Amino acid sequence: MRWKRLALILVVAAAVSVVVAGYFINFVIYGVRDISVEEVVSDPQSFDGVHVQLHGYIVDTSYMFGPKYVLRDFEEGVEIALSGKGRPEKIDFEPYVSFVFDGENYTRIRNINVIVVGYVRYIGPVIDAPSFFLDVEKVEPQKDILETIAIEFLKTTDVPNGGWNGTVEVKEIYDNKLGGKVMVVKYTTANGGHPGFFLEAIEHHIAVITLNMRGEVVSAFCVWGSFHDGKIWDLLNQRWIQQAMMSEQQAIDMGKVFLDDIGCTTGKVLFTGLEEKTPNFYWHDLAGLEKPDVQGLKLCWVIRFEQAFRPGHFFEVWIDAYTGELVGGTQCK
């Protein structure tokens, strides 16, 4: 949803110049057939116009003629040409290239197994070009690759000192506007955590990790539970930093995007204010979203919008002023 991407951009950017917040639903693609490259290659004409999700490695072919990039399944020895030129925003395949082909040999330059989503286009036999290609909408690293990157990074921090079991769960993946990816991961420690954390028997953590185009960690922040008076733990530099409170306008923007995305069209802003609220997850229940692991009183921006199609009625959202998480609200029925 757009509201979660907006939350990531708004909440911590002013303090640490990274994207933090918003995570509830795993990556879901509606109306897309998850098939193999081999299935398409075996009968491309029958897949013409079909919306598909394919898996494999992107290869820079360096061909003089034909496609520059292909998605290859090395186990089956098949590939499909990739094109993203017809999109409003041109797809950049270069960050995901794992192999370079010189006409004889494949040289691996990185190991990024990707998911590629797009439409199969069959154009028929042509000279010096394949008869079909994938019109690409989106390229994503496979989650297991990102999990491995996160795990290897966390091993270099103070996390193993807290009885960590060595596993993570990737909750969300976002595009980084500067190139690379931002991933939101969850991990659990058994006997405490970073300096100053409560020594609970089991402690759940949420970290936001930013990767550059080469898959290297360039920033990482643990944004756990109570936020310790507005501070977050810098995993990369092993220190606490002060987190900025989101502005009123940021809260308004986030609330509007969230409500509009779940079909509650908003009108003008009727009220804004900072109040302490106990999360009731009203909108999560209404929209069938997974609830964040948040408890206790939270300082929230309370934003009340007029219902666009019902003047005199309102939607109200409660947004954690530090984390940017939407933790509750109500509406006039």
Q: What is the CATH number of the domain that holds 74?
A: 2.40.50.200
For the ranges 121-125, 165-169, 235-239, the lowest mean pLDDT is seen at 235-239
Q: Is the pLDDT of residue 275 over 70?
A: yes
Domain end among 89, 113, 140:
140
The domain spanning residue 282 has which CATH number? 3.10.450
Alpha-carbon distance of 276 to 125, in angstroms, equals 66
User: Are residues 126 and 170 located together in one domain of the fold?
Assistant: no
Decide if 183 contacts 170 (C-beta within 8 A): yes
Q: What share of the chain in percent tops pLDDT 90?
A: 36
User: Are residues 184 and 268 located together in one domain of the fold?
Assistant: no
pLDDT digits (tens, 9 = 90+) for 181-209: 888 888 888 765 565 554 455 677 888 88
**Backbone phi, psi, residue 212, to 5°:** -85, -175
Q: Which is nearest to 299 in space by CA: 323, 329, 270?
A: 323
Q: Is the pLDDT of residue 290 over 70?
A: yes
User: Are residues 37 and 76 located together in one domain of the fold?
Assistant: yes
Ranked by mean pLDDT, which of 89-93, 121-125, 165-169, 314-318 comes out on top? Answer: 314-318
Q: Is the pLDDT of residue 125 over 80?
A: yes
Within-domain flag for 93? yes
At residue 192, the pLDDT reads 57
Mean predicted confidence (pLDDT) in 104-115: 87
At residue 24, the pLDDT reads 30
Looking at residue 230, its amino acid is: G
The confidence band for 328, taking pLDDT boundaries of 50, 70 and 90, is: very high
**Token match 């950017």: residue?**
13
User: Are residues 172 and 74 located together in one domain of the fold?
Assistant: no
Of 241 and 51, the one with more pLDDT: 51
Beta bridge partners of 221: 208, 234
At residue 41, the pLDDT reads 95
User: Are residues 78 and 100 located together in one domain of the fold?
Assistant: yes
In the predicted model, what is the mean pLDDT of the chain? Answer: 80
Torsion of CA 267, 245, 170, 215, to 10 degrees: 110
Looking at residue 91, its amino acid is: I
Strands (E), 61-202: 69-73, 78-83, 97-101, 106-108, 114-122, 132-141, 169-175, 181-189
User: Are residues 161 and 225 located together in one domain of the fold?
Assistant: yes
Domain end among 207, 242, 277:
242
The confidence band for 216, taking pLDDT boundaries of 50, 70 and 90, is: confident
Alpha-carbon distance of 87 to 66, in angstroms, equals 19
Within-domain flag for 24? no
Within-domain flag for 225? yes
For the ranges 66-75, 129-138, 227-236, the lowest mean pLDDT is seen at 227-236
Within-domain flag for 12? no
Q: What share of the chain in percent tops pLDDT 70?
A: 80
User: Are residues 199 and 281 located together in one domain of the fold?
Assistant: no
At residue 88, the pLDDT reads 52
At residue 177, the pLDDT reads 64
Decide if 324 contacts 24 (C-beta within 8 A): no
Tokens of 200: 């609970």
Of 102 and 316, the one with more pLDDT: 316
User: Are residues 235 and 154 located together in one domain of the fold?
Assistant: yes
Of 17 and 49, the one with more pLDDT: 49
At residue 66, the pLDDT reads 74
Decide if 101 contacts 57 (C-beta within 8 A): no
Please tell me whether residue 184 adopts helix, strand or coil conformation: strand
At residue 121, the pLDDT reads 94
Please tell me whether residue 8 adopts helix, strand or coil conformation: helix
Within-domain flag for 322? yes
Within-domain flag for 8? no
Within-domain flag for 13? no
What is the CB neighbour count within 10 angstroms for residue 135?
17
Domain end among 242, 269, 292:
242
Q: Is the pLDDT of residue 11 over 60?
A: no
At residue 56, the pLDDT reads 94
Domain count, the chain: 3
Q: Is the pLDDT of residue 243 over 70?
A: no
User: Are residues 148 and 173 located together in one domain of the fold?
Assistant: yes
User: Are residues 104 and 155 located together in one domain of the fold?
Assistant: no
User: Are residues 124 and 174 located together in one domain of the fold?
Assistant: no
Mean predicted confidence (pLDDT) in 218-230: 66
User: Are residues 196 and 213 located together in one domain of the fold?
Assistant: yes
Q: What is the pTM of this model?
A: 0.51
The confidence band for 19, taking pLDDT boundaries of 50, 70 and 90, is: very low
Within-domain flag for 27? no
Decide if 64 contacts 26 (C-beta within 8 A): no
**Token match 């666009």: residue?**
308
Q: How many H helices and E strands in the chain?
A: 6, 18
pLDDT digits (tens, 9 = 90+) for 32-80: 899 999 999 999 999 999 999 999 999 999 766 778 899 999 999 999 9
The whole domain housing 58 covers 33-140
Q: Is the pLDDT of residue 224 over 80?
A: no
